[in-house]
């Protein structure tokens, strides 16, 4: 009998999990900014499938626009928490931040 129960308590879509897997396994670099270390993961044009709000300029990052995702590399709360707090930036805005 097929099970139709959805996993409980997740609140996270499969798409989001794919996103996380890619972030955790993909190539990334570490930069020091604003007194801390940050993971910086470039997102290519073909990987950018959603619109995000850039914290640098407050404008939208349109789908199909290459940009970067950043999250702390030295957070005391651990990788999972830091990843949950990740931010999408225009590449130029991150460089200027
Ligand atoms: Zn921006």
pLDDT at 27: 72
Confidence of residue 93 (pLDDT cuts 50, 70, 90): very high
pLDDT at 75 over 90: no
pLDDT at 60 over 90: yes
Answer with the residue of higher pLDDT: 5 or 79. Answer: 79
**What is the rounded distance in angstroms from the CA atom of residue 48 to the CA atom of residue 77?**
27
Q: Where are the domains of the chain?
A: 30-96
Task: State the distance from the centre of ligand 1 to the C-alpha of 48, rounded, in angstroms.
Answer: 15
Whole-model pTM? 0.72
Task: State the distance from the centre of ligand 1 to the C-alpha of 6, rounded, in angstroms.
Answer: 37
Residue 24 structure tokens = 């955790």
Task: State the distance from the centre of ligand 1 to the C-alpha of 10, rounded, in angstroms.
Answer: 30
Question: Tokens 């989001």 appear where?
Answer: 16
Task: State the distance from the centre of ligand 1 to the C-alpha of 55, rounded, in angstroms.
Answer: 7
SS3 39: strand
CB 22 within 8 A of CB 47: yes
From edge to edge, which strands make up the β-sheet containing 67-72? Answer: 29-33, 36-43, 67-72, 87-89
**Average of pLDDT values for 69-93?**
90
Task: State the distance from the centre of ligand 1 to the C-alpha of 62, rounded, in angstroms.
Answer: 11
Confidence of residue 15 (pLDDT cuts 50, 70, 90): low
């Amino acid at each position: 009998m097929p099970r139709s129960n959805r996993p409980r308590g997740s609140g996270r879509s499969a798409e989001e999990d794919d996103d996380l897997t890619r972030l955790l396994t993909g190539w990334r670099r570490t930069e020091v900014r604003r007194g801390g270390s940050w993971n910086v993961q470039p997102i290519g044009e073909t990987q950018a499938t959603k619109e995000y709000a850039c914290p640098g300029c407050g404008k939208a990052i349109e789908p199909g626009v290459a940009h970067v995702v950043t999250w702390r590399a030295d957070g005391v709360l651990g990788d999972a928490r830091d990843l949950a707090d990740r931010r999408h930036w225009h590449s130029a805005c991150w460089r200027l931040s």
